[in-house]
Amino acid sequence: MELNTYSTASLAYLGDCVMELCVRERLVREGLSSSSSLNKKALDYVKATAQAQAMKRILPLLTEEESAVFRRGRNIGHTSTPKSATVAEYRSATGMEALFGYLHLAGRKERIGELFDAAYPPEKTENIIN
């Protein structure tokens, strides 16, 4: 199946999982070990507000193709949004998820890593409490 024929909603659905895996790997590599610490810290990455901020950091780095996928995802018609985010933040987060889903299906794992690190610059691990 051609990448551009996948529904944007399905790309965002997959991208949510791809991003979750990136977050979990980052947190485990940082040395967090208790499930409560892992889950609490993961929220700093996966909330729509955090994803919208992260998207602002990587938008200038995107290729034309990647930008088009992001815009497709951002423009999905949402019927509801979480109370913790604005409509614009939620749409941006959905666009980011669609982008990561697209890159995953394209087999561009290295690019996913590059964009994830640019979106969420690695923190120093010396102050992490397990």
- By annotation, the residues acting in catalysis are 16
Distance between start and end Cα atoms, the chain: 44
User: Do residues 31 and 124 touch, judged by C-beta distance below 8 A?
Assistant: no
Q: What letter does residue 121 receive in the DSSP assignment?
A: P
Distance (Å) of CA 96 to CA 14, 50, 73, 74, 76: 11, 11, 7, 8, 12
Contacts of 21 (CB under 8 A, 6+ apart): none
